[in-house]
Each structure stands twice: as structure tokens, then as C-alpha cells.
Amino acid sequence: MGSNLTTRVRVAAIGTLIAGAILAAAAFAQSPPAGGDKRTPAERAIDYRQAMFTVIGGNFGPIGGMQQGRAPFNGTEALKRAQRVAALSGFLEDAFPDISKEGDTRAKPEIWADRAEFDKLVKDFNTHTAALAATLAKDSKSEEAFKTAATAVAGDCKGCHDKFRTK
Amino acid sequence: MSEPLTEVEPVNTGDVAPATRRVWDLPIRVFHWALVLAIVGAYATNRAGIEYFKYHLWCGYAVVVLIGFRTVWGLVGTYHARFWNFVRGPAATMRFILATLRGTERRYAGHNPLGAVMVIALLAGLLTQSITGLFANDEILNFGPLSGYVSSDRSLALTSLHRQLFYWIMGAVLLHVIAVILHRVLKKEDLVKPMFNGHKPAHSVNPHEEIASSRVVLALLIVLAIAGVLSWYVSQAPLPQADSFM
């Protein structure tokens, strides 16, 4: 009697657990996890791109400050920043997927309409950021060479912003 | 102002009456053409490439001082420079437009009521443009000299305004030039030459409408005062915030 009751309780308990697990799994499959990512793929792509420009800008900022004389020239610091910007610049070519064309972004539709021109500007940016890092790696003391190379990078930023970013 | 031209010109050395009368003082003429140069310069130094952008700031300073000067000159300048003497209300301006369409408008020695609207529009537009420029930044290298006074977000909002207002100002400048051409073609009236030499034909200016002096010293003092205040503000401004956010 006693063992029979125990068995029945045990079966009921296991059954409840299995049913609960199945329900939980079904619920889990249907809705995102608590606190999960509710963004659309387009929103995620735009966030990714903007995060990248934030990091590029964050590292080019000190370079710009030295280039413009707002901060004293420091070759070691400039080299570190330049290497980061050069590495990040390589991410740009695929930071503008088609799905990210529309949304909360200052990227103009012309980027996708005139992709060849846009890709060329990105390529220039890759080239000039690499050249800036190489210039500093070769001689981190030459402020003059640094300024010239940094101006070329800044020119790429402006050229592309003027053309492909909303005012 | 609307008296008939009955006065006989006094004969001095020769036996010819003066063919022209002075309307625009020297400061206002220098102001006008300096402003043209500053606007062209501001445009060119933005388009020429980022290495020239520092000169864009110089052009901007020039515009601030010039517009500041013209505003003060509109209060204390010579007769045709003063706002009270040429700015008219909407009703009077509308009457002038209707009269112009009928071909019955009277001739003005200085700005007519419609020209006054353009003067105010350009002054307001360029004042806003030059002031927003002081607080702007290009998110690359260049910071407006006063951008350190505002948050990074505010600076970017003002930059956006600065970029968009350019097109409105270009529209106004285009209308201004078209109006001058229409005066030339339809009314056979040359407005360009008087803006260089200050004089208009005597038949279009009543004797009492002629200005006696250019008040050049007063104009110089105003320019120096405005330039002094601007450079004081620029020299006292904190560094922009965006370089140091890391």
C-alpha cells in the first residue's frame, strides 16, 4: 500500500516535471529569452555600424587633437590610435549591408545606389589609415609626416561624410 | 522723400549740375563686398578639402563681425543704412508689391520695401549661420571656437542646422541677384555701380536724400569693438569636449 502510493506520487511528479519541461521548452522556443534582443536585423546592423564609427571616432579624436595642435604631439600615443583606426577601417566594407539602408541612420540611400563610388572611398580610407600607422611606426618622432598622413585620413572622412551622410 | 525734383542745383565751377548724388556710405559699400568675399571664401574653403578648413573659420569670423557691424549701422549709420528709414510693415510692403506689378511704384533712393525684406532675411540668416558655426564641429578635426561651451550633442545639432541653413541662404542670395538683374533689365536701373562708388543718378535721388558724410571713424570704432568682443570670447572658450571623451 505504502509503496504503491509512493510509486504513484513518483510517477505523478515525474510526469509533471516532463510536462513542465515540454511547456517551458515550447514557451522558450516561441519568445525571446527574458531581457533579450528585441531589435530587428536592420536595427542590429545599424547599431553595429554606429558602434564601429563611435570606436573609430573615439580613437581618431586624439589624433585630430594633435593634428590641430589642441593637444601636444605624442608619437607613441598617435601610433597606438592610428593602428586601432587602421584595423577598424577594414570592418567598414561590410558594415553597410542592404538591410541597413532604412532606419534610424544618417547613412544616405546613395551609398547603395552608388555603391562603386562608396566602396572606392572606403578603400581610400583603408589605404590612408594604413599609411598613417606605417608612417608613425617608421618614425614616431616626425610630427610633420604625422600631420600630412593624418590630414589625408581626415580628408577621406570629410569626403565621404559630405557625400554620403545626411547634413 | 516724395517731393518733386524742382530744386535747381547750385552751379559751382562748371556750368553742369552734378549728375549723381551719394546714397551709400563707404562703410556700407565695404561691408557689402567684404561680405560677398567672406561668403564665397567660406564656401570655397569648405569645398577645397579639409586642409583648408581652418580658413573657413576665418571667413566665419569675418561674417560675424560684418553682420554685427551692419546691425549696429542699421541703428546709428547714415540715412539709407538705418532700419527705421527703409524697413516697412507687411501692409506697406504688400502695397509696394502690388504697385510694382501695376508699374506704378515710386522710386526709392535707398532700399525699397521689398529690398528691405531681403536685407532683414539675409542679415538674420547670416547671423544665425555664423553664430551656429562658432559652436559647430565636423566630428573629424575641426571645432568651432565656442563649441567647448556646449555639450557634444548640442554642438552636433547646431552643426546640422549650420549645414542645412546654407541652402536657404544660397536661395536668398540667388533671389537677391535676380532682383538686381530685373532692376537692370526691366527698370533700366543699375544697382551694382552705386554699390561700388556710392552714387546714383541725380534724377533718381532727391537733393535732401543725399548723404553728407560716410561716418567712417564711427564705423571703424564699431568694427573694432565687435572684433574685440568676439576675440575675447574665443580666447576665453574652454577646449571642445569631443577630444577628451575617452
**pLDDT tens-digit profile, chain A (167 residues):** 455 666 666 667 777 777 777 666 666 666 555 567 889 999 999 999 999 999 999 999 999 999 999 899 999 999 999 999 999 999 999 999 999 999 999 999 999 999 999 999 999 999 999 999 999 999 999 999 999 999 999 999 999 999 999 98
Angle between helix axes B90-102 and B113-135 (nearest 10 degrees) is: 130
Query: Residue B118's pLDDT band (boundaries 50, 70, 90)?
Result: very high
Report d(CA B66, CA B32) in Å as an integer: 9
Query: Percent of chain B at pLDDT above 70?
Result: 91
Tell me chain B's radius of gyration from C-alpha atoms: 21
Residue A156 · residue A124 · CB < 8 Å: yes
CB contact under 8 A, B141 and A70: no
Return the pLDDT at B48. 93
Q: Which helix (H) or strand (E) holds B201?
A: strand B199-201
Angle between helix axes B26-47 and B216-236 (nearest 10 degrees) is: 30
Return the pLDDT at A47. 95
What is the complex's ipTM, to 2 decimals?
0.77
Q: In sequence order, which residues have a C-beta less than 8 Å from that of residue B17 and are 6 or more positions away? A: B8, B9, B11, B202
Distance from CA of A74 to the nearest CA of B (A): 14
Express each pLDDT in A43-58 by its tens digit.
999 999 999 999 999 9
Q: Which chain B residue is nearest to residue A150, measuring alpha carbons? A: B141
Q: Which three cell numbers stand for residue B163?
A: 549645414
CB contact under 8 A, B138 and A57: no
Express each pLDDT in B67-107 by its tens digit.
999 999 999 999 999 999 999 999 999 999 999 999 898 88
Mean of all residue pLDDT scores within chain B: 91
CB of B238 within 8 Å of a chain A CB? The answer is no
Q: What number does CATH give the domain B20-245?
A: 1.20.950.20
Residue from A68, A77, A129 to probe the interface with B (highest B Cβ count within 10 Å): A68
CB of B49 within 8 Å of a chain A CB? The answer is yes
CB of B239 within 8 Å of a chain A CB? The answer is yes
Return the pLDDT at B11. 46
Contacts of B140 in chain A (CB under 8 A): 60, 64, 154, 157-158, 161
Q: Which chain B residue is nearest to residue A81, measuring alpha carbons? A: B246
CB contact under 8 A, B140 and A151: no
Contacts of A151 in chain B (CB under 8 A): 50-51
In this prediction, residues B217-244 reach a mean pLDDT of: 89
Q: Write down the residue that cell numbers 502510493 correspond to.
A: A5
Whole-number Cα distances in Å, B215 to A95, B61, B205, B222: 61, 24, 20, 11
**Is B227's pLDDT higher than 70?**
yes
Comparison of pLDDT for B173 and B11, the residue scoring more: B173
CB contact under 8 A, B239 and A70: yes
Contacts of B246 in chain A (CB under 8 A): 58-59, 61-62
Comparison of pLDDT for B216 and B9, the residue scoring more: B216
Report d(CA B11, CA A158) in Å as an integer: 64
Region of poorest pLDDT, from A76-85, B157-166, B174-183, B231-240? B231-240
Q: Where are the domains of chain B?
A: 20-245
Return the pLDDT at B2. 46
Return the pLDDT at A32. 55
Comparison of pLDDT for B240 and B153, the residue scoring more: B153
Chain B (146-175) residues lying within 8 Å, Cβ to Cβ, of chain A: 160, 163-164
Please name the member of A58, A67, A167 whose beta carbon is closest to the beta carbon of B141.
A67
pTM: 0.83
Query: Residue B6's pLDDT band (boundaries 50, 70, 90)?
Result: very low
Residue B88 · residue B113 · CB < 8 Å: yes
Return the pLDDT at B214. 86
CB of B142 within 8 Å of a chain A CB? The answer is yes
